[in-house]
A and B are shown apart, each in its own frame.
Chain A
Amino acid sequence: MPSLFFDFAHLLAGSLVLLSFMLLYQSRMIGVINIFTAHAVVLATSIAWQAYIQNAPHLYFTAAMALVFKAIVIPIALVRIVERLHIHRTIDTAVGIGATMLLGMLLVALSIVVMLPVTAASDPLAREDMAFALSVVLLGLLMMVSRRNAVSQVIGFMSLENGLILAATGAKGMPLVVEISVAFSVLIAFIVIGIVIFRIRERFDSVDVPDLDRARGDQP
């Protein structure tokens, strides 16, 4: 297989990592959603690319689904929620942006370090992709823990999940990828619906997680 294939795959995976960083950096809700859309688009492209180079047609379906669901439906839904909740201005972060970025760097470094000992026997493409995917996953997690606002946490989770899909598609010939991605989309749908439900029930005037925590039982 010509190395161009690899390089393009790398390019896409690398740009996913980059977008994750931008997610961390972005401080406006709407901006976050936009970047996430981009994230999804890039993911879809990379899946399609994988489908092409692995000539695994079923991956095209996954790509399409990623595109439709993550790059169109979810962002729209989120934007509407954000508008209804009037939280499109800046969002309060638990950790400062700078610190977050720094942590992100370290995480990427870490993910490369843990991937290095993997023998090149398993094909380099997958191996490098794994390193990138791992960084995307970790960055997604980092976003979830460094944001106080539920919507951005959800976005963090979805970027994490993008990383997973990236890994899954990167692993050559992995079965059930479609099913898994479907299952995950269901999961995400649940989360979004969950937020909507919480909005509908007047018990919570905002979906900021701390407010949920007020309701905890066993309080002293």
Chain B
Amino acid sequence: MSFGSFALTAVLLIPVSAAVVLALIANYNISARINVLAAMATFLSAALLFVDRPPTTSYLIVDDMNTVFIVLNTFVGFTTSVFSASYIDHELESGKLTPTYLRFYHAMYQVLLFGMNLALVSNNIGLMWVAIELATLSTVLMVGIYRTPQALEAAWKYFILGSVGIALALYGTILIYLAAQGAIGEGLDAMAWSVLVKRAASFDPALLNLAFVFLLLGYGTKVGLAPLHAWLPDAHAEGPTPISAVLSGLLLNVALFALLRFKMVMAANAKALAPGPLMVTMGLVSLIFAAFMLYRRRDIKRMFAYSSIEHMGIITFAFGMGGPIANFAGLLHMTMHSLTKSGIFFAVGHVAQVKGTQQMAGIRGLTVTHPVLGWTLVIGVLAISGVPPFGIFMSEFLVVTSTFSRQPWLALPLIIGILLAFGALILRMQGLVFGEPTGSNAPDRASLVPLFAHFGLVLAAGIFIPPLFVAWFQTVAAMLG
């Protein structure tokens, strides 16, 4: 068994076994540590996939594209587990969680990681679908874990909308198979993405179009594109903060990844509908809708959830535009958004803990009471609202300029949306970190290391991206066409 396939198996097996183990351990301190260790091991073995790739089977595949996602995924999964270790015990003290639930939480965390990794490495579109459903269900359970009315309601909403999404995605998958089976013949090959992309030219365009509509809606619900987004804000706001971080940082990406896989299939067939315009439209709608929604938010986590919708809109827009520059920008934006947004949720988690509330009205003058935390939050918000020298500025620079030189009229709503979102975020951020301080100024015990790691990376990427990554991103951008 080759080195690469060893790494691959590790990426899949470690989370599963960790989940089993964690489900058995009662002591939450130990389980938190195991959680961190498992996540780290997964990350390391994922990094090994750089070195060597396993051969593509009809079920699993590792190529440039999903390596980007896997590495990012496992890395954020790892940092989040670190954060969660320093965060979750406070929840226990404050009585929001019982040890039983905490055990369940850790197990589910690993299940979630497994689901996402499986979705990313699966070559079989049916398997991918199952994996994404698994990931969704585990997050549903975590969102509801606090068992407050709000939490349960959010979980319920997430669950219903998510299931409908899943159903639509499945129908799309079946249609794809049908289209493929006409050309390739029955059997596994007709569901293997690697084969589909190669043979897509000979598929029945009408079936492909229909399939893409369903897949766009199905996986788009997971991505959180408006108007399919409804589950997202509440799920972020009511679940435990680490889960919010993982949701925004990872699960949305995984869904987007699925969408991209199918976009490539569509693009490979000349007669089929061009997927670009659809994605561009939905991206713009999400961007502008979310931008306006930001202005009325009172709950800090819900606000950043909406900002995730906004950024997913930008990313979808970029991939919809296509072309080397826009795709590169899309990938970069996705990576930067994952890092920044999860970092922001870390910070928000600390803030909510020290101030004892998620309502922004109750949080003022952070830079006075908690200078480090406050300024870190400032950095995070600036980074997410596309201010240099942070990575998102570079991607927005590329998206806007390339769009304007190609389709000027599309750039207009784009910058309007960006500006609106900027205005809202800065307005709230000023209110949070400046002005006469309110609320407690109890010291913040949690570790800020994950934050610094994330924002450090974002800052670095805004100024200098290592050539290795550049080349890598560019090949992927080329793949995406």
Contact = CB atoms under 8 A, between A and B. Distances in A.
Interface in A127-185: 130, 133-134, 137, 141, 144, 153, 157, 160-161, 163-164, 167-168, 171-176, 179-180, 183-184
B299 interface: yes
B137 A187 contact: yes
B206 A213 contact: no
A18 interface: no
Interface stretch (B147-155, B250-258, B440-448, B457-465): B147-155
Nearest to A211: B153
Interface residues of A, number: 49
A172 B177 CA distance: 9
Contacts of B140: 190
Contacts of A134: 171
Question: Chain A: interface secondary structure?
Answer: helix
A218 B302 contact: yes
Interface stretch (A30-38, A91-99, A112-120): A112-120
A122 B179 contact: yes
A187 B153 CA distance: 17
Interface in B185-223: 186-188, 190-191, 204, 206-207, 210
A39 to B, nearest CB: 16
A122 B171 contact: no
Interface stretch (B2-10, B82-90, B122-130, B468-476): B122-130
B163 interface: yes
Contact of A173 (B134, B137, B186): B186
A7 B238 CA distance: 52
B174 interface: yes
Contacts of B33: none
Contacts of B133: 183, 187
A2 interface: no
Q: Which of A167, A176, A180 has the most CB of B within 10 A?
A: A176
B299 A117 contact: no
A171 B178 contact: yes
Given A161-B167, A183-B130, A190 B159 contact: yes
B353 to A, nearest CB: 18
B164 interface: yes
B237 interface: yes
Nearest to B187: A173
B142 interface: no
Contact of B174 (A171, A173, A203): A171
Given A180-B170, A187-B166, A194-B156, A122 B181 contact: yes
Given A141-B164, A174-B177, A215 B153 contact: yes
A179 B152 contact: no
Give the 8 A-B residue pairs with the shortest CB-CB distance, closest first: A173-B186, A215-B149, A122-B182, A117-B206, A176-B126, A215-B153, A118-B206, A212-B153
Given A172-B181, A180-B129, A187-B137, 11 more contacts: A114-B210, A118-B210, A122-B182, A126-B178, A171-B178, A175-B124, A190-B140, A190-B159, A194-B156, A201-B152, A212-B152
Interface of A: 114-115, 117-119, 121-122, 126, 130, 133-134, 137, 141, 144, 153, 157, 160-161, 163-164, 167-168, 171-176, 179-180, 183-184, 186-187, 190-191, 194, 198, 201, 203-204, 212-218, 220
Interface of B: 124, 126-127, 129-130, 133-134, 137, 140, 147-150, 152-154, 156-157, 159-160, 163-164, 166-167, 170-171, 174-175, 177-179, 181-182, 186-188, 190-191, 204, 206-207, 210, 233-234, 237-238, 296-299, 302
